[in-house]
């Protein structure tokens, strides 16, 4: 079984990784309708997401893909698990194209992917990339044959592949062999460390086998998904030190709500700060009736707060204290942040650079004026017992003072005018 014979213990051409130094990886193009996004190389770190609709429901899936794309997901993955789902992929792609949504679609395959990709060539062509899990392809020769079949389809249709190894479906034969070898050492390592190593070995050896089968080296992305923060950090540090394939980051099951956000931020921030990671997905468990696009927003905010990318103007707002018993500043901060994000689909084409704008919405005189001066545009609302006036600062200078019951509406107009004036194209004379 070739994937177990490849020596992946040596450095595979990666440069040393350190704080602030981007791990050098290959550049993988993902294409659709003449548009291309790149993963790895010098490309920005991409944010991606995944639908949770039944893919056999083409309309519902296309709608959710559009929502995710409008929220900023640069690649969207869909489950392709049944013949019914595979049949609808082409309809989903056509519907998205009609709506002008050209975001690349990634097909997520497990167990029967080799059959679906060969039985439904239109599905194979309509997808921009395949995600395959070597641990869910059977064992022994069957696994090797199924893997080869999927790679051959990717070669035929010129599609890139993410080889995604997962903690919960790790190749049992590989793990058993590595555990056995470890037990024979004079100083055996802990089982957890061997499992982490097995993830890395599985990912890289399967990537090397894909190349041996004829898949270009710049058509392969790797991931090693686990559920715990420290394991993820350890696995990806090891993975980055052994290869130069682009790396997809994310906890496989981050969790719900604040737990999922905190866990994802804790793990990814460490790796991104060390230059590891070329694309990210925040795998949040949606709350009942929750918005699937939240994971896209969280991914963007991780990258933006770290200074790695800019997606939408950020609002700085104070947390509130006994000086700010009124909820006015909280409501205004939420209103402005929502307004800015809603405007971005239009603003990003009309006003280049607006995504880097900083807005401050502060609640009292302690830090309000100072923070507002530091922002591109800011407002300092009155705290409890303060004079009922809200000075507005533009580019560090006090511009106007708002009073009355319509401060929120007036400030929103000022922000809109500022964006048009600062980021709009100069008038041609």
SS3 180: helix
* For the chain, the helix, strand and coil percentages under 3-state DSSP, each to the nearest 5: 45, 20, 35
- Which stretches does DSSP call E strand in 93-214? 105-109, 129-132, 161-166
CB 314 within 8 A of CB 296: no
Residue 164 pairs with which residues in a beta bridge?
223
Question: Distance between CA atoms of 352 and 423, rounded to whole angstroms?
Answer: 6
Question: Distance between CA atoms of 124 and 107, rounded to whole angstroms?
Answer: 8
Q: Is 18 exposed, middle or buried (0-12, 13-18, 19+ CB in 10 A)?
A: exposed
CB 179 within 8 A of CB 117: no
Residues 6 or more apart from 406 whose CB is under 8 A from it?
none
Question: What's the length of the chain?
Answer: 429
Number of alpha carbons in the 13 Å side-chain half-sphere of residue 174: 30
SS3 332: helix
For the record, the structure tokens of 421 come out as: 């004036």
> Any known ligand binding at 224?
no
> Any known ligand binding at 364?
yes
Q: Is 227 exposed, middle or buried (0-12, 13-18, 19+ CB in 10 A)?
A: middle
CB 135 within 8 A of CB 203: no
Neighbours of 188 (CB within 10 A): 13
Question: Distance between CA atoms of 297 and 261, rounded to whole angstroms?
Answer: 11
Residues 6 or more apart from 185 whose CB is under 8 A from it?
none
Residue numbering of the annotated binding site for [4Fe-4S] cluster: 318, 321, 364, 371
Residues within the annotated binding site? Answer: 318, 321, 364, 371
């Amino acid at each position: 079984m070739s994937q177990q014979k490849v020596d992946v213990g040596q450095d595979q051409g990666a440069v040393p990784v350190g704080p602030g130094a981007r791990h050098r990886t290959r550049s993988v193009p993902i294409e659709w309708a003449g548009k291309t996004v790149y993963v790895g190389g010098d490309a920005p770190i991409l944010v991606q997401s995944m639908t949770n609709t039944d893919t056999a429901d083409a309309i519902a899936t296309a709608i959710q893909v559009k929502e995710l794309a409008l929220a900023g997901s640069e690649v969207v993955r869909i489950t392709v698990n049944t013949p019914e789902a595979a049949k609808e992929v082409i309809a989903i792609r056509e519907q998205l194209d009609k709506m002008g949504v050209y975001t690349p679609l990634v097909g997520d395959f497990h167990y029967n992917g080799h059959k679906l990709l060969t039985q439904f060539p239109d599905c194979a062509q309509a997808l921009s990339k395949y995600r395959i899990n070597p641990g869910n392809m059977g064992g022994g020769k069957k696994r090797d044959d199924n893997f080869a079949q999927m790679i051959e389809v990717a070669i035929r249709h010129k599609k890139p592949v993410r080889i995604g190894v997962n903690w919960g479906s790790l190749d049992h034969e590989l793990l058993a062999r590595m555990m056995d070898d470890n037990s024979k050492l004079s100083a055996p390592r802990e089982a957890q460390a061997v499992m982490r190593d097995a993830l890395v070995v599985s990912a890289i050896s399967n990537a090397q086998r894909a190349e041996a089968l004829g898949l270009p080296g710049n058509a392969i992305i790797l991931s090693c998904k686990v559920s715990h923060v420290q394991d993820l950090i350890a696995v990806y540090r090891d993975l980055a030190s052994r290869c130069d394939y682009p790396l997809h980051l994310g906890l496989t099951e981050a969790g719900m709500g604040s737990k999922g956000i905190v866990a994802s931020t804790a793990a990814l921030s460490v790796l991104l700060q060390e230059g590891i990671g070329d694309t990210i997905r925040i795998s949040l468990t949606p709350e009942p009736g929750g918005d699937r696009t939240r994971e896209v927003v969280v991914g963007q905010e991780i990258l933006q707060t770290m200074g790695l990318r800019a997606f939408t103007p950020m609002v700085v707002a104070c947390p509130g204290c006994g000086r700010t018993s009124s909820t006015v500043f909280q409501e205004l901060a939420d209103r402005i942040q929502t307004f800015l994000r809603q405007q971005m689909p239009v603003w990003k084409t009309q006003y280049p650079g607006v995504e880097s704008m900083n807005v401050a919405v502060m609640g009292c005189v302690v830090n309000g004026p100072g923070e507002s001066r530091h922002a591109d545009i800011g407002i300092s609302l009155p705290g409890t017992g303060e004079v009922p006036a809200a000075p507005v600062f533009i580019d560090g200078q006090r511009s106007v003072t708002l009073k009355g019951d319509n401060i929120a509406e007036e400030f929103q107009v000022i922000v809109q005018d500022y964006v048009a004036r600062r980021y709009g194209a100069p008038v041609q004379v």
